[in-house]
Structures are given as structure tokens and as C-alpha cells.
């Protein structure tokens, strides 16, 4: 039998001494990603429009790890350019650097070609597409100084597939997929990697609210869609967060300009 004397086993934290911004970080996939990043040693900025949820999450995580400076909350509406600029400036004030940017914030406006309004379309474009670009633009100014950095954009299965009544939302997620490729090409000279994670249907508050608005439960929708994915179930935000963590970390150092589907092979047109 092997005996170990004075030997301590430990695991290396994937994001030790890294600083990450996670937009839309107070709920759903964003919240799960904040938790995973904190577990892996990162300083995390929780950027969100919901001040109450963001402050509460930051306090909970800091208490859990007994570190009052592990996470900070910054209120940010990514459709507002001044908020986007302030987000990066405040992050550098708090932590001196930006190593990782997770562009998770977005809104759901589900309208088809027959019933959308110009206001609907402009609002979702300004948030999901232009807002993501603005957050990235101002973060990149600071990320350029690093030897290596990572940006992860949150796309969707709607980046690829057609769903009835989804035109407005799907258009923005398709745009994010192409933006990812262009960003990766533009930023390679600074050793900033850019990738896109495309989740399938994930059980978040957005899905729960959608179900309620239509007089359904999440289980009702899951039963209706069970035959559209190999596993026959919806995903958990933690399962998406683990993929985001991999792409944000140095373990994926040879990956850029790609999309990663976390959708259990969603089957539709």
C-alpha cells in the first residue's frame, strides 16, 4: 500500500487572479456563471440592470467565500453607451484589469414577421447586438494590455434554427454568431480569443415567465418538446456555465472564432 507523508492534494483554480465581467449576471445562466467563476478564484463583476438581485447575489457570494472583495455589482443597461463605458472603467478601478468578458445580457422579444413593430425590433437590436458590441468595445481597451484574454458571447440555438414567431429574437442571435467570428479576427493581434456559446432551451426565469404568460408550466413545454433533443429534457444553467468557464480559461488557449452548441442536439428546421 502506498503511503504519503506530509503530502497535500489540491486542485489548481482555473481563474485564479483573473478579473471577469459577466453581463446579465444576476439571474439564469449569468448567475450560474458568476458562481462558477467565483469558485474558480476569479474576481467577478456582476453587471446587470436589476440592482436588487445583483447586490444580493454579490453579498451572498462574498459571504460564502469570506471575501468582501471577491465580487462587485455594477448597474448597467448595455443598450446605454455611457453605462457600457462606465462598466469597464469601474471594473479597472476595483480590480486594476479585465481578463475575461462574458456577454450574457440580452432581452427576449418574440415576434414574427407579421406582428413585430419597429420599436420591438430596435429595442432588441440595441440590447442584444449593439449593446454587446459596445460592452466589448470599451472592455477591449483594457484587455489589450494583457498577454492573453477571452471574450465569450452568448448566442442561442436560435442563431441557427427557425422557430415560428421568433424572427426578432433569432435575428439578433444570428448576428451575435457572425459578430463572434469578426471579433476573433480583429482581436487576434492582441491575443484576445472570442468564442460563442449557443444554449438550447435552458430552465431560467425567462422560460418560467414565458410559460406562465401562456398558461403553461415548464413541464408542459418540456413534454411538448421532448422529442426535439437526444436527452429529451431542458438544460440547467450550470451546464452552460461549465462550457463558458472552459472557453474563458486558459484550457481553451487554441480555440477562437468558434461556436459551441450546448443544446443536446436540438432537432428542428
Residues serving a catalytic function are 169
167 in Cβ contact with 113 (< 8 Å): yes
**Cα-trace Rg, the chain:** 19
The CA distance from 245 to 250, in Å, is 10
Query: DSSP class of residue 129?
Result: I
Q: Exposed e or buried b for every residue in 187-224, given b needs 16+ CB within 10 A?
A: beeeebbbbbbbbbbbbbeebeeebeeeeeebeebbee
**Maximum Cα–Cα distance across the chain:** 73
134 in Cβ contact with 178 (< 8 Å): no
Amino acid at each position: 500500500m502506498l503511503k504519503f507523508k506530509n503530502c497535500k492534494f489540491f486542485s489548481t483554480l482555473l481563474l485564479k487572479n483573473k478579473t471577469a465581467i459577466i453581463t446579465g449576471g444576476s439571474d439564469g445562466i449569468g448567475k450560474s456563471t458568476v458562481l462558477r467563476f467565483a469558485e474558480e478564484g476569479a474576481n467577478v463583476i456582476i453587471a446587470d440592470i436589476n440592482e436588487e438581485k445583483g447586490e444580493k447575489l454579490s453579498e451572498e457570494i462574498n459571504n460564502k467565500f469570506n471575501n468582501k472583495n471577491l465580487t462587485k455589482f455594477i448597474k448597467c443597461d448595455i443598450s446605454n453607451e455611457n453605462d457600457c463605458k462606465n462598466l469597464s472603467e469601474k471594473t479597472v478601478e476595483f480590480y486594476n484589469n479585465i481578463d475575461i468578458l462574458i456577454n450574457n445580457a440580452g432581452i427576449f422579444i418574440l415576434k414574427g414577421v407579421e406582428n413585430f413593430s419597429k420599436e420591438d425590433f430596435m429595442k432588441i437590436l440595441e440590447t442584444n447586438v449593439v449593446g454587446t458590441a459596445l460592452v466589448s468595445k470599451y472592455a477591449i481597451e483594457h484587455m489589450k494590455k494583457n498577454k492573453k484574454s477571452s471574450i465569450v458571447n452568448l448566442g442561442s440555438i436560435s442563431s441557427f434554427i427557425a422557430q415560428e414567431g421568433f424572427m426578432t429574437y433569432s435575428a439578433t442571435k444570428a448576428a451575435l454568431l457572425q459578430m463572434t467570428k469578426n471579433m476573433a479576427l480583429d482581436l487576434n493581434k492582441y491575443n484576445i480569443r472570442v468564442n460563442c456559446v449557443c444554449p438550447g432551451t435552458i430552465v431560467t426565469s425567462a422560460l418560467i415567465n414565458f410559460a406562465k404568460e401562456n398558461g403553461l408550466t415548464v413541464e408542459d413545454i418540456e413534454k411538448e418538446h421532448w422529442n426535439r433533443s437526444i436527452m429529451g429534457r431542458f438544460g440547467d444553467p450550470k451546464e452552460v456555465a461549465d462550457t463558458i468557464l472552459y472557453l474563458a480559461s486558459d484550457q481553451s488557449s487554441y480555440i477562437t472564432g468558434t461556436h459551441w452548441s450546448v443544446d443536446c442536439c436540438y432537432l428542428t428546421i
